A and B are shown apart, each in its own frame.
Chain A
């Protein structure tokens, strides 16, 4: 059963992203929102790691959080709005928010 993981903490201040990446299964999804979108900052190790993830893992970022922070998102990552966020939770069997 695939899981949509949701992260909201900056990877530069917190271990959640690192732990989450180790627990991702092949068909899981990862949604970055809030300060977690800083993981997409160009030229960083976290961004490189995300870009190298297997293509079977869906990578998403909440558009408003990306735009508000003036980030440029790599092609590998799909920016989504709230209706797409709702749809994404239904495309996976369950949602794991890393509170």
Chain B
């Protein structure tokens, strides 16, 4: 089955970890993740500038490694990301900001990507809250 997974919570939220564990289990079960869409505060879960204390879970890094390892289609909503200061190099230059925090394997794109995923997936599952 084809899953579309939306994450609405930042990396420090239990929901970001839960979404990752779900995604791992979906792939382990032989299913496909046709797209990840990080929206609202979920854009922070794609940030490359999160620094976790060494003895604490680094969910943003785990997400990044998971996406890269499985070469997933991983989209961060551009409007939600700009509003929350999560920019890629191109947007940082465009708006003359000093730091970029979104890079490969993540791509910034619009809500059309969410709707496309909803149209093409067998199951949409959203993670957020606590």
Contact = CB atoms under 8 A, between A and B. Distances in A.
Interface of A: 6-10, 33-36, 62, 82-83, 85-87, 89-90, 94-95, 97-99
B111 interface: no
B130 A9 contact: yes
Given A83-B28, A85-B25, A94 B123 contact: yes
A36 B15 CA distance: 12
A77 B47 CA distance: 37
A89 B127 contact: no
Contact of B124 (A33, A85, A95): A95
Given A10-B130, A89-B125, A94-B124, A34 B18 contact: yes
Contacts of A97: 125-129
Contacts of A10: 130
Nearest to B42: A99
Interface of B is mostly: mixed
Q: Lowest 5 A-B CB distances belong to which pairs?
A: A8-B129, A99-B128, A82-B25, A97-B126, A34-B130
A11 to B, nearest CB: 12
A95 B31 CA distance: 16
A25 to B, nearest CB: 18
Nearest to B128: A99
Interface of B: 1, 3, 8, 14-15, 18, 21-22, 24-26, 28-29, 31, 40, 122-130
B126 A33 contact: no
Contacts of B18: 8, 33-34, 62
B126 to A, nearest CB: 4
Given A34-B15, A86-B31, 14 more contacts: A8-B15, A8-B128, A10-B130, A34-B130, A36-B130, A62-B18, A82-B22, A83-B25, A83-B28, A89-B125, A95-B125, A97-B126, A99-B8, A99-B128
B78 to A, nearest CB: 20
Nearest to A83: B25
A45 B65 CA distance: 43
B123 A85 contact: no
Contacts of B22: 82, 85-86
